[in-house]
Amino acid sequence: MPKRFNITLCDGPSCMHKNSKEIVAAIEAQLKKHELSDHVGINLSGCLGMCARGPVMIINPGYSIYGDFTEKDIPEIIEQHIKKNKPIARFIIDEDHLYNRFFRVFGDVNFFGKQMRIALRNCGIIDPENIDDYISLRGYEALAKVLTDIAPEKVIGQIKKSGLRGRGGAGFPTGIKWELTAREKSDEKFVICNADEGDPGAFMDRSAIEGDPHTIVEGMAIAGYAIGAQKGIVYIRAEYPLAVKRIKKAIADARKEGFLGQNILGTGFSFDIEVRLGAGAFVCGEETALMLSIEGHRGMPRPRPPFPSVSGLFGRPTLINNVETLANIPVIILDGAQWFSSLGTEKSKGTKVFALAGKIKNTGLVEVPMGTTLRQIIYNIGGGIPGDKQFKAVQTGGPSGGCLSEEYLDTKIDYESLAAAGSIMGSGGMIVIDEDSCMVNIAKFFLEFTQNESCGKCTPCREGTKRMLEILTRITEGKGSQEDIDKLLRLGNMIKKASLCGLGQSAPNPVLSTIKNFRAEYEEHVRDKRCRAGVCRHLLVYEITDKCVGCSACKKACPAEAISGALKQKHLIDVNKCVKCGACFKICKFGAIKKS
C-alpha cells in the first residue's frame, strides 16, 4: 500500500446515536478482510458540529468529509476510497474546502464559511482521549508560557484587555472576575468550571468537553495560577457520561505528564483538579447554588453580596467560569489579547458557540464571531427551514430566553443587541420555530420547564411562575380571557424584578416576548377560541368532509365512540363526545378529516 490513510470518525452523541460504534467495527472488519489494517489508522473525535449529516467521517489525506452513510456502506467506502483511492462523491458532504487558522481545511463552505472556531478549534480534529494529539496543536503551550514568562497580574491584564466576557449567560467581564478573586487574601482559593449545562436543546459545553477536554484543563490551570489557587473543580452533570469519562481521563493524563499536580513544569506552581457530578438540577447552573451542591447541600441560590470572589466555596474566594469561557483562555495567551479583541463588536469580543436545534436543516454546533446576525446563522449556516416552511421565531438563551419574530432576523449576536430585542445570549441555545408551531404553546412549554426547575426558595419564582403557568393552561384550553393576557404581563414583570436569582429573573422571558411579538395568537386563543397552528388540542374542531368513503377506520380508532356512520357512507363526528385526541385524523388514508 503506497499511501497511508487515516480515518477519523465523529464519536459525539448524535453520531453515536447513528451507530458510530457499529461503523467502527464494520471499518475494522473490512480493513482486516482486505489486509489493510496496517496501512490505515482509525481515530475517534469529538463533535464536528454537523449533527444533521451524521454519522460524519473524515478520510485523510484529502480531508474528504463523508456523511449520511450507514454501516452497510462501509464495504464500498473501503473498496473504493481506501483500496482504489477513489472518493465516493455521493457521500462527500461538500467538495469545496475552507482554510483558516482556526479551522484547518474542512469541507462544506456553506456550513463553515461564516464560522470561526476558537473555543471549538480542536473539536472534530483531535482524538480527545489522546493527550499527544492536543500537545501537537500547541496544547499546554499557553500554560508553560504563563508559568515561565508572565506574572499572575499580567495574565489577568491580558484577559481584561482581550474583552472576553463570561459565556455562561450574564456576560460579566472575565478579567474583572479574575482580578477580584486574585485580590482576596486567603490560604485557600478555588477555580470551578461550571459544566452544569441543562438548557433544553443546548449541548455546547458537553460537546466541547467531549471533543477537547484538555483545553478546559489548561484554561483552569492558567486561571489557578492567575488568582493564586491550587485547587480546581469541574462540576458536571452526571447525565453526560461521555463528557465525564473524557474530562476525567484528560485530568489523569495531564497529571501524569506533569501539567497538573505538584511543582508543574518545575516552576514551583501546584494545581490539581477533581470532578464533581451534579444530579441534573437546572438551578445548579447558578453559581451560588452550584457551590452549595458541591458542599453537599441542596442547590439553592443565596443573596449576593458576598460574591463568590470574596466568599465562595467553603467560604473561600472562588472563581467560577463556564466551559466555553475557559476554552478561550489558551488562545488569548498564545495569540494575544489585542488579536482576540479585534474580533466581534465593541462591547462583545471574540466568538460565541451556539447549539442550533429545532426546525432547521443543519442542526448542530456552530461558532461565529460576535456581531453575526441571526439571519446569517439560520439561513447561511443553518440552511433555513426544512420542508419549505416559513420561519416564525427563534429563541435564544435557553428556556428562559426570548422568542424573536422575523423582524429581528437582522439582529446582531451580542449581549446588548439581544437584550434590546427582548431576549438574552444565555449559554448559547438557539431553537428555531416554524409556522407549524403555536407561540402560546411554546411559551407554556418553556415556562413548564422553568417552573418545574424552580428551587422554591423565593416566593416570586416559586408562586409567580406557577400562577403564570395556570393562566397559560387556561388560555390553551380555550378558557382564557382578555384579562389573562394583562395578568401575564403584570406577573411576568413582577417576577423579573423580585426573584432572587437569574432563573426566576429570566423565567418570564418566553411569555413576555411571545406576547410582545405574537400577541395576535394570544388574542385568537382567548377571543376566538382558535389555535391557528392547530397545536392546542382543546381548541381543535375535527370534521369529516365529503372525501369520506365510509371505510370506518376512524370509527374504530375513536376512543370516545364519537364517530357514527354506516359502512361505505359518509361518517359524522359528534362534537359533544369528541375528546380531540386526533386518532381519526391520523388514521384516515383519504384526507377526509380536517381540523380547524
Q: Which residue has the cell 460579566?
A: 172
Q: Which residue has the cell 451560588?
A: 288
User: Does an H or E element contain 420, and which?
Assistant: helix 415-421
93: confidence class by pLDDT, cuts 50, 70, 90: confident
Closest CA to 164 of 367, 334, 324: 324
pLDDT given for residue 392 in this prediction: 97
400: confidence class by pLDDT, cuts 50, 70, 90: confident
pLDDT given for residue 115 in this prediction: 86
Is the confidence at residue 98, as pLDDT, over 80?
A: no
Q: What number is the average pLDDT over the span 370-387? A: 93
Q: What number is the average pLDDT over the span 529-553? A: 92
Q: Which fold has domain 439-528?
A: de novo design (two linked rop proteins) (1.20.1440)
> Of 2-16, 194-208, 543-557, where does the model show the most confidence?
543-557
pLDDT given for residue 89 in this prediction: 87
Is the confidence at residue 589, as pLDDT, over 90?
A: yes
Closest CA to 455 of 265, 276, 236, 299: 299
Report how far residue 146's alpha carbon sits from residue 276's, in angstroms, rounded to the nearest whole number: 27
**235: which 3 cell numbers?**
462540576
Alpha helices, H only, 536-582: 553-557
102: confidence class by pLDDT, cuts 50, 70, 90: very low
Is the confidence at residue 509, as pLDDT, over 90?
A: yes
Report how far residue 337's alpha carbon sits from residue 519's, in angstroms, rounded to the nearest whole number: 45
Report how far residue 553's alpha carbon sits from residue 563's, in angstroms, rounded to the nearest whole number: 10
| Residue, of 464 and 8, whose pLDDT is higher | 464
Is the confidence at residue 225, as pLDDT, over 60?
A: yes
Report how far residue 390's alpha carbon sits from residue 392's, in angstroms, rounded to the nearest whole number: 6
Closest CA to 97 of 84, 80, 121, 113: 113
Is the confidence at residue 266, as pLDDT, over 80?
A: yes
Range with lowest mean pLDDT among 93-102, 146-155, 407-416, 487-496: 93-102
**456: which 3 cell numbers?**
422554591
Structural contact between residues 120 and 354, judged by C-beta atoms closer than 8 angstroms: no
- For CA atoms 73, 76, 79, 81, the dihedral sign is negative
Contacts of 515 (CB under 8 A, 6+ apart): 443, 485, 488, 489, 522
What's the Cα-to-Cα distance from 512 to each of 213, 460, 533, rounded to whole Å?
A: 38, 16, 20
554: confidence class by pLDDT, cuts 50, 70, 90: very high
Q: Which residues lie across from 431 on neighbouring strands?
A: 357, 395
Is the confidence at residue 332, as pLDDT, over 60?
A: yes
Phi, psi of 63 (to 5 degrees): 50, 50
Phi, psi of 278 (to 5 degrees): -95, 160
pLDDT given for residue 17 in this prediction: 77
**186: which 3 cell numbers?**
486567603
- Cβ atoms < 10 Å from Cβ of 115: 24
Q: What number is the average pLDDT over the span 226-252? A: 96
What does the mean pLDDT of the chain come to? 91
CB neighbour burial string for 145-175, b if at least 16 within 10 angstroms, e if fewer = ebbeebebeebbbbbbbbbbbbbbbebebbb
319: confidence class by pLDDT, cuts 50, 70, 90: very high
* Helix/strand/coil for 359: coil
> What are the respective helix, strand and coil percentages of the chain, to the nearest 5?
45, 15, 40
**131-340 and 540-595: same fold?**
no
Report which residue type is found at 390. Q
Structural contact between residues 50 and 39, judged by C-beta atoms closer than 8 angstroms: no
Is the confidence at residue 95, as pLDDT, over 60?
A: no
Structural contact between residues 214 and 222, judged by C-beta atoms closer than 8 angstroms: no
Question: Could you report the per-residue pLDDT of 139-172, keeping only the tens digit for each?
Answer: 999 999 999 999 999 999 999 999 999 998 778 9
Q: Which fold has domain 351-434?
A: Ubiquitin-like (UB roll) (3.10.20)
DSSP for 177-207, please give it. Answer: HHHHHHHS--S--EEEEEE----TT--HHHH
94: confidence class by pLDDT, cuts 50, 70, 90: low
Q: Beta 5-10 vs 40-45: how paired, if at all?
A: parallel
Q: What number is the average pLDDT over the span 130-137? A: 95
- Cβ atoms < 10 Å from Cβ of 434: 17
pLDDT given for residue 100 in this prediction: 41
Report how far residue 92's alpha carbon sits from residue 110's, in angstroms, rounded to the nearest whole number: 14
Q: What number is the average pLDDT over the span 319-332? A: 97
Q: Which fold has domain 131-340?
A: Rossmann fold (3.40.50)
CA angle 507, 417, 436 (to 5 degrees): 60
What kind of architecture, by CATH, is found in domain 540-595? Answer: 2-Layer Sandwich (3.30)
Closest CA to 255 of 273, 240, 231: 273
DSSP for 577-590, please give it. Answer: T-----HHHHH-SS
Q: Could you tell me how many helices (H) and strands (E) the chain has, helices first? A: 25, 19
User: Does an H or E element contain 136, and which?
Assistant: helix 131-136
pLDDT given for residue 110 in this prediction: 59
Is the confidence at residue 576, as pLDDT, over 80?
A: yes
Is the confidence at residue 114, as pLDDT, over 80?
A: no
Range with lowest mean pLDDT among 109-123, 218-232, 316-330, 334-348: 109-123
Q: What number is the average pLDDT over the span 433-460? A: 94
Q: What number is the average pLDDT over the span 292-298? A: 95
393: confidence class by pLDDT, cuts 50, 70, 90: very high
Is the confidence at residue 344, as pLDDT, over 80?
A: yes
| Residue, of 103 and 400, whose pLDDT is higher | 400
Question: Could you report the per-residue pLDDT of 514-524, keeping only the tens digit for each?
Answer: 999 999 999 99
* Helix/strand/coil for 493: helix
Structural contact between residues 425 and 171, judged by C-beta atoms closer than 8 angstroms: yes
Q: What percent of the chain has pLDDT above 90? A: 71
Q: What number is the average pLDDT over the span 424-431? A: 86
Q: Which CATH code for domain 5-93? A: 3.40.30.10
Is the confidence at residue 101, as pLDDT, over 80?
A: no
What's the Cα-to-Cα distance from 188 to each of 178, 242, 271, 277, 310, rounded to whole Å?
A: 15, 31, 12, 22, 12
Domain ranges across the chain: 5-93, 131-340, 351-434, 439-528, 540-595
Query: Is it true that the peptide bond before 61 is cis, omega within 30 degrees of 0?
Result: yes
**10: which 3 cell numbers?**
465523529
pLDDT given for residue 59 in this prediction: 87
